[in-house]
Chains A and B, each alone.
Chain A
Amino acid sequence: MIEVVLNDRLGKKVRVKCNDDDTIGDLKKLVAAQTGTRADKIRIQKWYNVYKDHITLKDYEIHDGMGLELYYS
């Protein structure tokens, strides 16, 4: 179980607990549940790499405590 921090630099900073074999799509659902936006409006990035929905966190090498950028589409 890892904990990921997502920050949209506009005031929304969210800590989400998830498994490392969850996909980015699942992570978006969890974030949507916590922030109240819709899951399909969320975009998760790291610098200019937009993370794709079907790849797991483990494959993206997202570890415990790592920060990701939260954008909206």
Chain B
Amino acid sequence: MANRTDPAAKSIHGTNPQNLVEKILRSKIYQNTYWKEQCFGLTAETLVDKAMELDHLGGTYGGSRKPTPFMCLILKMLQIQPDKEIVVEFIKNDEYKYVRVLGAFYMRLTGSVTDVYRYLEPLYNDYRKLRLKLSEGKFCLTHVDEVIDELLTKDYSCDIALPRVQKRWTLEACGLLEPRRSALEDDFEEEEEKEEEEQAMDSVEDDTHEKNYYRGRSPIRERDRDRRRDRQYRDRDYERDYGRGRERDRDRDRDRDRERDRDKDRDRDRDRERDRHRLRDDRDYGRERERERDREGRERERRDRERGRRRSRSRSRSRDRRDRDHEDGDHRKRRTRGSVSPRRRPEDDGSTRDEPKKKKEKKEKKSDGTDHPDPEIAEANRLRASLGLKPLK
């Protein structure tokens, strides 16, 4: 009788809320002494007191799969179904971290998708330590933000199967959520500004470097590019405050121009010419001219090479990033050593990069046994490989 759900309670995800915890586990909790003694006749208020006494998280432990008090309280909450305001209070409370995690877990089980993201994501900023009971019965250390990450990304936690939530970008695409603003974004912006300052010395090479950044056309890159563009517009405010002035304006204009005329080579070249002229006016004229000559020659070679490369190679994301990184390295090296012949290096790397990859793939296939003549055994070996086991003998 004490185990029946409150008759006034709504059904969650189309079922009796207690059914979110599966049958065997539920029976284990009903037979548990903590449930029988402490969780009898609990209401929302007295539940808070019990929650404050919690000192560890966990699922079931031991050979007989004994549930933790955390699980018992979760099932109690499912049984009495507190209001959303109460759950939000649990989450917002700062003092008791286990109460917070209890509220977050309950919200993850019962809340709608937007609610889940909206209330759980601020908890990413909570770095406090938590005690987690493992299935062997030992304790281990974890943190609040780790637990929240597990709740949002995995679909199984503390021995309870979590209801499915859509991925964040799906919701962003539908317009139900705003793109995520991380608390670390301000730190990243500062770092980026510092980087840009250093590279402002070689801002012509910076051109092509940033251009590679923006050239990607895949949708994921699009999203990143949008985010970077947003960050740039936010940069504008920062820069106004710091009064870095004309150089920064020029960079920004250059970026904006570049983005607009992305597809046209000629326009990009025109921009670069224009900027180079502008730079020449500002900087030390003699020094600039010396470097200019070297740089122009190199630029032209690199431009031709990139154009050719872009057309011939298929664009895979990792390879692009590697290209970019390589070009970064090239930039920095070239700055110090002026007279290295640039043509050889990227092509060499391109060819050697492909070969080790192919060799590795071949080796993996052979040791896996997935190319066994008997199809059943090949299938079994494939399954074993996916689980991380050695092939059948």
Which residues on A are within 8 Å of B, measured CB to CB? 1, 17-19, 22, 26, 29-30, 33, 38, 40-41, 50, 72-73
Contacts and interface: CB of A to CB of B under 8 A. Distances in A.
Contact of B392 (A18, A38, A40, A72): A18
Interface in B379-393: 380, 383-384, 387, 389-390, 392-393
A24 B377 CA distance: 20
A1 B24 contact: no
Q: Which of B135, B156, B392 has the most CB of A within 10 A?
A: B392
B155 to A, nearest CB: 11
Nearest to B381: A17
B156 to A, nearest CB: 7
Contacts of A72: 24
Contacts of B383: 30, 33
Contacts of A73: 24, 60, 65
Interface in B25-75: 60, 63, 65
B392 A1 contact: yes
Given A17-B380, A40-B135, A29 B389 contact: yes
Contact of B377 (A17, A30, A33, A41): A17
B2 to A, nearest CB: 24
A18 B380 CA distance: 9
Contact of A26 (B24, B387, B393): B387
A51 to B, nearest CB: 12
Contacts of A18: 392
18 contacts: A1-B393, A17-B380, A17-B392, A18-B392, A19-B390, A19-B392, A22-B389, A29-B387, A29-B389, A30-B383, A30-B387, A30-B389, A40-B135, A40-B159, A41-B24, A72-B24, A73-B60, A73-B65
Contacts, number: 30
Interface of B: 24, 60, 63, 65, 135, 156, 159, 376-377, 380, 383-384, 387, 389-390, 392-393
A11 to B, nearest CB: 16
Contacts of B392: 1, 17-19
Among all A-B residue pairs, the 7 with the closest Cβ atoms: A1-B392, A73-B65, A29-B387, A17-B380, A1-B393, A19-B393, A26-B389
A29 B65 CA distance: 18
Contacts of A26: 387, 389
Contacts of A19: 390, 392-393
A2 B116 CA distance: 47
A73 B156 CA distance: 16
B186 to A, nearest CB: 41
Contacts of A30: 383-384, 387, 389
B26 to A, nearest CB: 13
B231 to A, nearest CB: 41
B387 A33 contact: yes
Nearest to B389: A26
A32 B187 CA distance: 44
B359 to A, nearest CB: 28
Contacts of A1: 392-393
A40 B389 CA distance: 17
A18 to B, nearest CB: 7
Contacts of B65: 73
Contacts of B393: 1, 19
A34 to B, nearest CB: 9
Contacts of A33: 383, 387
A38 B387 contact: no
A71 B284 CA distance: 81
A26 to B, nearest CB: 5
A73 B135 CA distance: 12
A1 B376 CA distance: 13
Nearest to A38: B156
B223 to A, nearest CB: 34
Contacts of A40: 135, 159
Contacts of A50: 63
Contacts of A22: 389
A3 B207 CA distance: 63
